[in-house]
Structure 1
């Protein structure tokens, strides 16, 4: 692991410990920085804000690229669903680290839930743009992306709050609800996603 990734992980770990001990609202960036052994300025090199510690994620570029790679003969909704599944298939469950813990804190806080919706819209935009670059009309691209992101967010929240089971099976189930007549469930078997029983 690079020094940069170690520093980021150290900041996130310190912040999570403080959020769980003292509460999100009571925890300041200064407290996080001290606990992580970094300067205030270093914190902001890695995160835009305190909520970024919980909500920033690196998955949007991979999701956009995976949507673009789907066969053009598929309808946009199926391309978006399969792109999401493909992107998540490259993420091993054990590589998610504290993502579940971060999401469970965010889900339990009204301000952070609002920020989750903002992040959701940003990912939706990435998916819609990936569809549009391959010739899909704007409205059709936005509808397909919005439907997928609604289903994905429900799956992520369920995973964060249910306390058991994997994220991969939830994502597959969510995507298969949108395109039930396809063979989308059970198709992704590498990495994070596992076949549904």
Structure 2
């Protein structure tokens, strides 16, 4: 819902972004903490009973919240795996990228900065979520819808930086290409869980930047 090393300027910008990210407010931190806790309990239940057999009521009970509270954070069971809180951080990181970078370089630097800042626990959770998403047909369909929304967000970011409209074909093509790289990395990561997802994104976006040489 979810998610690149480039030339030296981008790598340098990643290091500066880490200290430049805005600190979330108390409400945002509480929401993120609750969502992360629910996702952790849901993953444990999915692991124990299987995704299909696990109900929203079971997840809520295990997380010690009511079903109505669950639906305040996630509108469906699928969203427990699809939804995350990284979009605002990606936008902030993108806006902090140096002005001399191209839109693609800026997107790449912003994505890499988010991956660099993830804890070992967050990375482990992401790995497990990714494997489930790729294995369960309805989850894979749901993540495609989520990636479409992310593509629109990236198009808005790029359009603002480039002084163009979000529905400009060139802007949408760039945003779509970035999402394509992300999805291909997710597929590879699901099949090769020992791989490093950040490195996969780095390599994929570097190939995109180089014109996709084969």
The answer to whether the 8 A contact 1:76-1:141 is kept is no
- Name the CA distance, whole Å, in 1 between partners of 2:63 and 2:86: 25
More displaced stretch, 72-81 vs 6-15: 72-81
Unmatched tracts of structure 2, length 5 or more? 1-25
Question: Could you say which residue in structure 1 is the equivalent of 2:107?
Answer: 80
Q: Contact 2:93–2:110 at 8 Å: present in 1 too? A: yes
CA positional deviation for 1:120? 0.9
User: Does the Cα contact within 8 Å between 2:151 and 2:176 map onto a contact in 1?
Assistant: yes
Q: Contact (CA 8 Å) 2:43, 2:129: kept in 1 or not?
A: yes
Residue 41 of structure 2 corresponds to residue 14 of structure 1: yes
TM-score, length basis structure 1: 0.79
Mapping of 1:28-47 within 5 angstroms? Answer: 28-47=55-74
Contact 1:65 1:130 in 2 (8 A): no
Matched with 2:197 is: 167
Residue 3 of structure 2: aligned partner: none
Residue from 160, 164, 168 that aligns with 1:136: 164
Q: Name 1:179's counterpart in structure 2.
A: 209
Q: CA separation in 1, counterparts of 2:32 and 2:84? A: 13
Q: 1:50-103 CA deviation, whole Å, 9 max, x = no partner?
A: 111111011222223333444455444333333323443333444334111111
| Structure of higher RCO (CA pairs closer than 8 Å, 6+ residues apart) | 2
Moved beyond 4 Å, runs of 4+: 1-6, 71-75
Structure 1 residues 112-160: Cα deviation after superposition (integer angstroms, max 9, x where no partner): 1011111111111111101111203521111111101110121133223
1:105 to 114, 132, 149: 132
In the aligned structure 1, how far is the partner of 2:154 from the partner of 2:129?
Answer: 24
Give the number of the structure whose residues are more often helix, by fraction.
2
Supply the distance in 2 between the matched residues of 1:58 and 1:83 (Cα, whole angstroms): 15
Q: Is the 8 A contact 1:14 1:35 kept in 2?
A: yes
Instruction: Let me know the Cα RMSD of the aligned residues.
Output: 2.5
1:8-57 deviation digits (Å, cap 9, x = unpaired): 33322221122222222222111211222221112112222111111101
Report how many aligned residue pairs link the two structures. Answer: 181
2:17 is matched with none
Counterparts of 1:144 and 1:71 in 2: how far apart (Å)? 19
Structure 1: 5+ residue runs without aligned partners? 182-197
Separation (CA, whole Å) in 1 of partners of 2:154 and 2:45? 34
Q: Give the distance between the partners of 2:56 and 2:177, measured in 1 at CA.
A: 35
